[in-house]
Structures are given as structure tokens and as C-alpha cells.
A and B are shown apart, each in its own frame.
Chain A
Amino acid sequence: MALARAVAAPRTLAYALWAWRWHLMVQPDIGVRLAVSEEAER
């Protein structure tokens, strides 16, 4: 994700975030999951 941000590749960043969220679904604290999406929306 850092590399995608550095080279301004938003679609690569989007895929990285998607993969992160996919694995984050095992997180029982929903606030943690939401925080990642809310950060991505900013």
C-alpha cells in the first residue's frame, strides 16, 4: 500500500485495501473493521 501511494497508483491501492479487508473479516471487533474503511474513504 505504501508503494501504491508513493507511485500514485490508486487502483493498486484499492486492490490492496480490498485484500486487507477480506482478511480483516475474522476480526470480531467491528469498530476495527470500520476504521479501515473510513480511513480509505478519506
Chain B
Amino acid sequence: MNSVQTAILDANTGWVILALFSLLWIWLGWFFGRKTKDLEGYTLAGRNVGLALGAATAMATWMTSNTTMAAPQLAYQLGIWGILGYSLGSVGLMLFAPLARRIRELMPNGFTSGDFIRRRYGNLTWRVFLLISLVYAIGWLVSLGMAGGVLIHALTGIDYRIGMSVILFICVAYTLLGGLRAVIGTDFIQALLILVGVSILAWLVITRVGFDAMHTTLATERPELLNLLMPAAIMFLFNNLLFGIGEIFHSNVWWSRAFAFRQGVGFRAYLLAGLLWLPVPIVAGFVALAAPALGLNVPSADMVGPMVAAELLGMGGAVLVFIVVFSALASSLDSLLAATSDLVLRDVYKGHLKPDASPEHLYKAARWVVLGLGLFTWLLCLPRLATLAAVLHFMGAFVASTIWPIVAGLYWKRASTTGATLAMVLGTAAGLWGYFAIGFYVAALISAFVSMLVVVLARRASSRPFDWNSLRQEVR
């Protein structure tokens, strides 16, 4: 299908919105970061982020293009359990709340998730973790960059390569200018835009279509979408839950925020972000259930949300969807760029290539890393290697294997180094086997289960308790 045929906006309007938002975000990036003078200010926003910005950045980062575009798609394909299952992605945020508090207490001077793994488990576990973490981060970056190009093309007809390049350029530019402060500051505004946009769309569906007409049409034409015992949807629900927990627990996106939030803020910020995020996929997904009542002929399930919006609001609805999707993409892309750059800077550049680098040297290098990572992502996005879903499903096996080594490392004195390494290697291998032998929906499930077994069994064999105080020292 040629997605230009589904474009709900003309390319000129798309360009005007892109240009206005480019100017706004890049100016804000400069504005928020103009007083930053050192490495901690640039990479961790001075370790002093309050509750409002903390909760908003966690929430906005987790609201990706998937939340706003795939939730309606899932509702259209898997029905009520599809959107409820998607909303369980918030459990990962809420479960990370106590971890964020623990991380800040244990490592008040920490920088990255890699820092923790290296000092808790040693170099071998650190390198395995780093590999998983970087593969995941690059995969997510590429999938977001690609989603940007695909969505801009689908919504406006602008060429994939141009749309992808523009969104990457904007995010790289303001992250480069302002570091984590630019990311967090823009995330706050993007969170508000997404929440207001999604609320308006759902409200219009309720007032203009109504529950009565929607339910009657669905029960007649698509009764499976109202089925509360749909097996595929229930399977999706559990896999999505574990996948989300794995993504959040290991990724430096969330660890860097735990380090950046002011003491005492992390727990409340993540809990609030989870609670406020939970209803968003339900509201966004619900919009899609109006398609049968509106008599829409949906050529591609991932376009159902924008099509309903355009049908109800015309040009205004199309613009609204474009702004929501653009904000959702940017709020995740910038966070991932900043957090992955930190990981590359601290764990690859300083950790492996230049161990004696001073903070001043790293502060200068940080900008080059952001730029290099942006360029690398752009090159990988150019050929459109795989579909968004395939890339993300593949990652489930990797990230779910890190859940137990992370949790055990944070709370168990006797969590074993060998156990943590084996848990990640065997968990990933088992998850990948499940992915190819059974299906994508069991990859995270199998990986987390095998990893848990290894961590628990290895704990029994471990004899030397870990000294928590060793984590509190200044990072070299």
C-alpha cells in the first residue's frame, strides 16, 4: 500500500508544523542549557531535578510514537485487552520507583547503569550488560528514527528519508545544545501537548459518536474486539508487562534520571509518572474503536487513530494528531540520545578507551558523542532495515534477561557475579530460542524465567557478601 494515499495532511502544512516545532525545540534546548558549565550539569542536569519535571520527563519518555499510534492499532486488532495490556507498560515505571530511590541512596555520585554493574559485579558482567544495553539502545533509537520517517510520510506524504532526517536533526540539535536539561525541559512541554491532544480526541469520539453507537456497531461487526477472553490478547498482556519491566530496569534512560533527580524525588516521580501514564494508551486506543461506527475503511491498522481524528475534526484533527505524534517521538528520541550518549561516554570511551580522561575533557567529548550517535542512527535509519515491531520484539529476549541481575544486585548482598553474567547470557539465548521456535510473544517471558532461575540458584552457591559502602564512593 502506498501510504501517501492515507496522508491526512498536505505536505505544505506538514512542513509548516515541522518548521515551527524545530525552531521552538531548538531554541528551548539552548535556553534550558545556557547556564550549564560542567559535565554533571550537561549529562545529569546538576542532579537536582524536582518532582514536576521529574514525573513529566519519565512519563513523556515512556509515551513513544507506539503509545499514540500502536495503542489504537492494538485496539483495532486485539480489542479491549489490547489497550489494557498496553497500559500495563506503566507497571514498569511504578516498579522502578523503589529502585530509583535505592539507586540514589547506594550511588549518590553514580553516572550510568553501567557504573553500577561494573562496581557491583565486576568487568565481565559489565561488558555483557553493556553489549545488551547498547544493542537495545541502538535498536530503540533506530526504531524511533524509522518511526519518525514512516509516520511523517504516512501523515503528510513527506518522503521517508526527509522526514526521518528532520526529526533526528531536531532532537540531536537541542540535546547537543542543552544536554539533559534541554531533554527534561522539552519533555515537560511535550507531555502536556500529548495529554491535551489525546484527551481532546477521546472527548470528541464520546460526544460525536457515543458509547451506544460504538458498542452496538462493535458487537455486530467486530465482536471479537469486545471479547474479554481473547487468547492472543491475554498472551500479549503478560509479554508486554515483562518486556516493559526489562526495558525500564536495565536502560540508562531511567537510571540517568534516577541519578539526576534531587534526593527524595525519584520514588515519587516514577510512581506518579506510572499512575499518570497508565490511562493514556486506553484513551488513545479507545479512539480506534470508533472506526466501525464511523464506517471507516481502514487500509492499514496503524493508521486507524489518525483516520478517526481526521474524520471527526477534519484538518484540525489531522494537525492535532501530527503534533501529538511529533511530540511523542521527540520526547523519547531526545531522552534516548542523551542517555545512550552518557553510556557511550562513561562506559565505552572513559571505561575502555581513555580511563584517565578528566571531567573537563569528558564535558567536551559529551557533545561529540551526541553528534556521533545521531549521525550513526541516521545512517542506520536510511535503508529502512526492518519494521518497527520486529526490531522491538527482538529486543524482548535481551532486556528481560537483565531484570533479575539488576534487582538482585540492588537488594541482595550475596547476589553472585558469575550468576549475573550467566543469567544474562543464558536468559538472552533462551529468549531468542523462544522467539524463533515459538513466537515473539514468549521471548521476554522465557528470557526472564531462565534469568531468574540462574540468579536464584547462583545465590545459594555464593559465599562472599557485598559491601554496599563500596558503591557510595566517588566514581573514578
Q: Do A and B bind each other?
A: no
A interface with B by C-beta (< 8 Å): none
